[in-house]
Amino acid sequence: MNNNDSVNPSNTQKTAAKRILTGIKPTGTLHLGNYVGAIRPAIESIQNSDDEAFFFLADYHGIIGCSDPAVIHESTKSIAATWLACGLDPERVTFYRQSDVPEIPELAWILNCSCSKGLMNRAHAYKASVDINIDNGVDADQGVTMGLFGYPVLMAADILMFNATHVPVGRDQIQHIEMARDIAGTFNHKYKPLFTMPNAAVDDDTPLLTGLDGRKMSKSYGNTIPLFGEFNPQANPEKQMHKAIMKIVTNSQLPAEPKDPNDSAVFEIYKAFATPEEIAAMRAQFSAGIGWGDAKQALFEKINSEIAPFRARYQELMANPKELEEILQMGADKARRHSRKQLDKTRRAIGIRPLAKLK
Ligand code: TRP
């Protein structure tokens, strides 16, 4: 990960070590875009550094937009299994479930009490919901919950709890990190300088994966290639991936006609998995008129060579939720060693502490 792209260069950290923290909402299964854009770079960046890392499943954020208990439950399992199968080392990284760290929602409440409502009024996600309502001629707040409205405060608590210095996120989350800084600044000024200013770490080198229809790969467009297949344990995940790749939209050029790689989702996706030499070779094959079927088959083989080794571990973990739960509990223990202390300091700073020592 290229951390030179931190959005807030004004931050002055005294310590050299970075503390990286990022969360992912368990509200579905992951696709290749998530793998290329978030999972792979996060795991690689940890492998090659001494940075401290906190990765977690933001299930209390998940319930804001998803009220299907089965989806929350199944996808917590699937996303935890995905990260671990893709190489996340739970000894090296503090890997936990947000809801297993009760100090986080407690801190969120405290932060709520010094965060101005006006700051939340400016949040893009909340404003987008209000705008849709206004366009539809219904009450501006229809369907807007306090959870959605306060989303950035809970996210600030996630980050400030661990004094994270770097928060790898997509561009859509930058505003939330700025709000976390704002919230930290207000608290630090009003009470005591307890919270470190976090920086959004946005990596411009990370590819935005193209989807089956040529638009950005996104769950909301329904154009994704599943990473390990859907929840259905009967479905063969390798076949599901092959089937999705064969559905990538192409033009109607015939085999042998030279094709423009720069105008092809097949080539775009290939680039995210291949070495520079392989990319050059594929470019030459496009000029030489490779047929779409063959190009897709080559793409499948390329992706599969990277993903197949993770698949067995994924399935093993999915079949063994006890192992997953143990890993998450170990992560929660590690996380709470920090969060208990940080919450205690915060409570003392606001005047909430025992009246006397008993015993
Ligand atoms: N809001 C993030 C997203 O939708 C998920 C998230 C929750 C998060 N808490 C976080 C990301 C803390 C980084 C840090 O992608």
Which phi and psi angles does 320 have, rounded to 5°?
-135, 70
Residue 236 has pLDDT above 60, yes or no: yes
Q: What is the per-residue pLDDT across 259-275, written as a single tens digit (0 to 9) for each?
A: 999 999 999 999 999 99
Ligand 1 center to residue 104 CA distance, Å?
A: 13
| pLDDT higher than 80, residue 6 | no
Q: Measuring from atom 3 of ligand 1, which residue has the nearest CA?
A: 24
Closest C-alpha to ligand 1, atom 13: 22
Confidence of residue 29 (pLDDT cuts 50, 70, 90): confident
Is pLDDT at 159 greater than 60 in this prediction?
yes
> Which residues does 313 contact at the CB level (< 8 Å), separation at least 6?
84, 85
23 closest CA partner among 156, 158, 149, 126: 158
Domains contained in the chain, CATH given: 19-209+320-349 (3.40.50.620), 219-316 (1.10.240.10)
Q: Which residue has the higher pLDDT, 258 or 203?
A: 258
Going from the Cα of 172 to the center of ligand 1, the distance in angstroms, rounded, reads 10
What pLDDT does residue 223 have? 94
For the cut 50, the answer to whether the pLDDT of residue 316 exceeds it is yes
Distance, CA of 330 to CA of 88 (rounded, Å): 14
pLDDT value of residue 207: 77
Q: Is the pLDDT of residue 11 over 90?
A: no
Q: Which atom of ligand 1 is nearest to the CA of 158?
A: 12
In the beta sheet, which residues pair with residue 21?
54
Over residues 325-331, mean pLDDT: 98
Centre of ligand 1 to C-alpha 58, Å, is 7
Separation of 154 CA from ligand 1 center, angstroms?
9
CA-to-CA separations, 154 to 59, 105, 331, 342, 343, in angstroms, rounded? 11, 7, 19, 15, 14
3-state DSSP helix/strand/coil % of the chain, to nearest 5: 55, 10, 35
Per-residue pLDDT at 154 exceeds 90: yes
CB distance 244 to 212 below 8 Å? yes
Out of 42-56, 138-152, 202-216, 307-321, least confident range: 202-216
**Ligand 1 pocket residue status of 61, Cβ below 6 Å:** yes
pLDDT of amino acid 232: 64
What pLDDT, on the 0 to 100 scale, is given for residue 203?
A: 83
Q: Considering only CA atoms, which residue is closest to atom 11 of ligand 1? A: 23
Q: Which of 190-204, 223-237, 263-277, 301-315 has the lowest mean pLDDT?
A: 223-237
- The pick from 30, 55, 61, 63 for probing ligand 1's pocket by mutation, whose C-beta has the most ligand atoms within 8 angstroms, reads 61
Residue 351 — pLDDT band, cuts 50, 70, 90?
very high
Alpha-carbon Rg for the chain, nearest whole angstrom, is 22
Quote the pTM value.
0.90
Is residue 9 predicted with pLDDT exceeding 70?
no
Ligand 1 close to Cβ of residue 169 (< 6 A): yes
- Of ligand 1's listed atoms, the one at least distance from the Cα of 151 is 1
Residue 7 has pLDDT above 60, yes or no: no
Residues 6, 204 contacting (CB under 8 angstroms): no
Ligand 1 atom at minimum distance from 176 CA:
1
Q: Per the structure block, which two tokens stand in for 298? A: 């080559």
Confidence of residue 4 (pLDDT cuts 50, 70, 90): very low
Does ligand 1 come within 6 angstroms of the Cβ of 167?
yes
Residue 150 has pLDDT above 80, yes or no: yes
Give me the percent of the chain exceeding a pLDDT of 90: 84
The pLDDT of residue 37 is above 80: yes
Q: Is the pLDDT of residue 5 over 70?
A: no
State the chain's mean pLDDT as an integer: 92
Which atom of ligand 1 is closest in space to residue 98's alpha carbon? 9
Q: What average pLDDT score do residues 212-224 get? A: 91
